[in-house]
Amino acid sequence: MYYDHACIFVDGHFRQGSFSVENGRFTHVLDSAPHEDGVDLNGAYVIPGLVDIHTHGNSGADFSDGDYAGLVKMAGYLARQGVTSFAPTSMTLPYKVLETAFRTAVRLHREQPAGCARLMGINMEGPFFSEKKKGAQNAAYLRLPDYDAFCRLYQAAEGLIRIVDIAPELKGAADFTRRAAKMCTVSVAHTDADYAQACAVFDAGATHLTHLYNAMPSIHHRKPGPIGAAAERDNVAAELICDGQHIHPSAVRMAFKLFPGRICLISDALRCCGMPDGTYLLGGQETFLREGVARLADGTIAGSAANLYQCLCNATDFGIPREEAILSATLHPAREIGREDEIGSIANGRLADFVVCTAALQRRAVYIGGQRIAEDA
């Protein structure tokens, strides 16, 4: 099927032209000649389907529940919002609970139900964290880095774990990182590490920073901490929750300057995403959603109630150039989970997951594998 008269996001820029989809993949990208039997997009904008590598839940479901029907519901909601690939994210919980959730992810990855976002990896957030910076993680289940336990979970997930998080100041963190980095991306997260401790883990192979600014020491001119250690390394990418609640717009703009070409927009969405105000569970703890903000009983801000497409639009509203924001919600996160040859861009041979939208990014339709699955919602 050919799609004509489109403004297509290719190689970081919008270009006029056509493209086709064959067997669920892009072909003939930027073919300029219109086709008699093609779909006329009438100048609409086409961007890659978004890739959320840090999302816990939505629609009342949470990945860590280990419930297949709930995971399908999550994937369906994401697809309708223009998020066509995701890495469901676990919490600090007992290993047996994590194993059940990971096996559920394997099933969804294999079955790929129609109308659902593609499950392209798992983000293992916890339990190797600092209690001081645990945030909304459950302190009862925090553990020191345990490579053998990680390997058992990796095996249960059949290699789907694409990111594992760690606090650098914990005993054994550098050794864990050296070994785990051969299997997946290692990310610094929920940490009270100083600059030297963070450098040791980055030097050992960590290449990722989980939700920049949140659950870590603030940057200081005499104590640069993990943010300073990450920013000066060109191979380290940083996640950014752009829900309008976690981070001030000025800090969002600063992040894009600190990590040029290395920002990954994330939602960090909870099961309350897409739901009304109320009380919800997160890692065994109650969270309270009020006017778009989710907090624990003690007032600690938890994850977000926004989806990644909303975060993308927020980023442009905060002054991030549209093209840079799109890359940060598509190609950059795909790269962090090692899937950039399949998703995150519009190019010949890539999976034909895309969003038709206006110049202002208002969604018109979502396609997965070239199949239209949702109107603007």
| Tokens describing residue 237 | 């990418």
**3-state class of 253 per DSSP?**
helix
Sequence-ordered list of residues with C-beta below 8 angstroms from that of 148, at least 6 positions apart, any chain: none
Q: Which residues contact 129 (CB under 8 A, 6 or more apart)?
A: 92, 137, 142, 165, 166, 167, 170, 189, 190, 191
Give the length of the chain.
377
Does the active-site annotation cover 376? no
Marked catalytic residue, from 4, 52, 268, 353: 268
| Nearest Cα residue to 334 out of 2, 1, 53, 38 | 53
Burial of 300 (0-12, 13-18, 19+ CB in 10 A): middle
DSSP per residue, 314-359:
HHHHTT--HHHHHHHHTHHHHHHTT-TTTSSS--TTSB--EEEE-T
Q: Could you give the residue numbers annotated as active site?
A: 268
